[in-house]
Chain A
C-alpha cells in the first residue's frame, strides 16, 4: 500500500514535468497514464510514404527529452511506457535526436522483428511529440538489443539543416561527430547488463539501399498483414477477376 502511494506521488511528479513537454496533439494525463491522441491513429492512420518519395515519421520522443512514449497498436495513441508501475523515463542524457516510427509498418516477429513499427532517428530540430513529419531515408543504424535485432532507420527532416544529405557518408562528412553520437547514445543509454556488457551493441551503419529495402519490406508486411479477403475485389464464379474501371484512367482494357 505504502509502495503504491509512493509510486503514485512519484508518477504525478514526473507527469507534471512531462506535461510541460511539447506536444503536437491532445495530451491526456492522469496520475497513472499519459497519452497523446492524434487526429488519426499513429499506428495505422497515416500513410507511410508520399508520392514524392518521402516518408512520414510519427515523433514519439522529441530530441532532448527522456520520457519514453511509444505507439499503442490497439488504440493508435502515443503512451508513456510503464515499467514496474512507474512511468518510464530514460535514465540517461536526453535523446540526441527526434525518435519515432513509420506509420503502417511492422517488423514481423516471424522475420526476427519485434512486432512493432520501424523505429526512426529523425535528424533535424526538436519537434513536438505527436507531430507527423516528412523526411528522406539516408541509411540504417544497425543495433542489437540483448541479442535481438533492433535497427533504426535514419531519416533527414525536410526543411532542416540535414535535408540535403543523401547518405550516411554525407552525414559524416558534413556533420562531424553525429554518427558517433548516435551510435554511442543508442548503445549506452540502457547501461550494462548482468554480464557486465552493454545491453545494446552496434555493427555500424548501413547504406540507403539497405534502408529503403528495410522500410519497404516493413510497409509491405504491414499492408499484407492487415488485408483480408474481404478487402479484395471479388472474383467471378470461375475464379477470374473482373475488369476494373477507375475514374482517373482511360479504361481501355488490359
Chain B
C-alpha cells in the first residue's frame, strides 16, 4: 500500500512536471517583433569563401544606453531587430565581393532578373552576420517632407515569414524612435508594404480601408500607413564645443592667430506634419 501511494505521488509529480519540461519557453519578443528566423537566403557575394557573412562596415547596434545616429546624407538605411530585441542599423554600400552588372542579369535557377547597372550591395544579413533576425525594413529619407520614413522592406527577415504583422512593424518603429538619434530630422510615417507581408496577411489587408498604392491604376506597390510621423525622441547629440587649437604658435612675439570655431550645425526647419507620402516600395531592384 505504501508503495502504491509513493508511486501515485511520483506519478502525480511527474505528470505536473512533464508539461513544464516539454513546453518551450515563451519569448515575449516573439509576439512583439516576430520570431527570430533564419534569413530567407544569402546572396552569392555576401559570404566569403570560408562561408562567413561579412558585416556591414557602418553597422550600429542601437540601445537606449547607446543610441544609433543617422542623418539624411547616409540614407537609405536598413534596420533589423535581432534575436535579443536590439536594432541593427546599416548604411547602404557596394559590397566588396559584389559586382556591377552593366547589362543586368538573369538567373534561370530562381528566375531572378536584374536591370542593367545593378550593383550588389550589403543587405540586411550584413547587420547580423547571417544570424536569425526578427521583422526588418528600411529607413528612407524623404526630401519633400524632410523626414525619415520607415517600412518593412526586407526579403530576408520580413517576407517569407508567416508572422510578420503590421502590429509588429508599429512596435519596431516605436523602438527605433526610442533608440535612433536623427539629429534635427523628424520621423515621417511608417508604412507596411504588402509585398513583404505573409500571403495570408496580404490577402486580408488588401480589403483594409487604409490600403493605398503607389500607382492606383495598376494597384502597384500596395501599402498601409500604420503610424504617423513625429519628432525625434532621442536627445540629439550635442554639438562639439572643444575649441580648435591654433595653427600658429609664436616662438617670439608673433601675434597668436586662432582659427575660427567650426560653424554650428544649421538646424533644419521642423516638419509640421508628416504627409501621406508614397513609400518607395522597392527602393532597389535588388530585394534585400
**A contact set with B: CB distance below 8 Å:** 47-53, 136, 139, 144, 164, 166-169, 172, 179-180, 183-184, 187, 192, 196-198, 201-209, 212-213, 215-217, 219-220, 223-224, 227, 231-233, 235, 239-244, 246-254
Contact = CB atoms under 8 A, between A and B. Distances in A.
Interface in B67-83: 67-71, 74
Given A49-B55, A212-B69, A244 B245 contact: no
Interface string B239-252: 11111111111111
Nearest to B61: A53
Interface string B8-47: 0000000000000000000000000000011111111111
9 contacts: A169-B239, A169-B241, A201-B244, A205-B242, A216-B91, A241-B44, A246-B39, A246-B41, A248-B39
Nearest to B112: A254
B144 interface: no
Interface residues of B, number: 74
B276 interface: no
A53 B41 contact: no
Interface of B: 37-49, 51, 53-55, 57-62, 65-71, 74, 88, 91, 93, 96-99, 101, 103, 105-107, 109-110, 112, 128-131, 155, 160, 183, 237-252, 254, 259, 261-262, 287
B101 A207 contact: no
A253 to B, nearest CB: 4
A205 B109 contact: no
A157 to B, nearest CB: 14
A216 B239 contact: no
B44 A244 contact: yes
B254 A204 contact: no
B239 A207 contact: yes
Given A168-B240, A243-B107, A250-B160, 10 more contacts: A169-B240, A201-B246, A203-B262, A209-B183, A216-B57, A231-B48, A231-B97, A244-B43, A246-B47, A249-B40
B247 A240 contact: no
B239 A252 contact: no
A34 B238 CA distance: 43
B58 A216 contact: yes
Contacts of A209: 69-71, 74, 183, 237
Contacts of B91: 213, 216
Contact of B242 (A50, A179, A215): A179
A213 to B, nearest CB: 7
Contact of B244 (A172, A203, A212, A213): A203
A59 B32 CA distance: 41
Nearest to A200: B245
B110 A254 contact: yes
Given A136-B66, A209-B74, A251-B41, A169 B237 contact: yes
Contacts of A235: 99
B36 to A, nearest CB: 12
B241 to A, nearest CB: 6
A169 to B, nearest CB: 4
Given A209-B74, A253-B110, A244 B42 contact: yes
Contacts of B261: 204
Contacts of A180: 242
A167 B42 contact: no
B57 A241 contact: no
A243 B109 contact: yes
A242 B59 CA distance: 27
Contact of A248 (B38, B55, B74, B239): B38
A227 B97 contact: yes
A51 B39 contact: no
A251 B155 CA distance: 12
Contacts of A164: 65
A224 B97 CA distance: 8
B58 A201 contact: no
Contacts of B105: 239-241
A196 B251 contact: yes
Contacts of B259: 201, 203
The 7 closest A-B pairs by CB, nearest first: A53-B61, A169-B238, A253-B110, A219-B57, A244-B44, A246-B42, A216-B58
A254 B108 CA distance: 12
Given A242-B44, A252-B160, A212 B55 contact: no
A232 B240 contact: no
A172 B241 contact: yes
Residue from B69, B128, B155 with most neighbouring chain A CB atoms (10 Å):
B69
Contact of A167 (B93, B107, B131, B238): B238
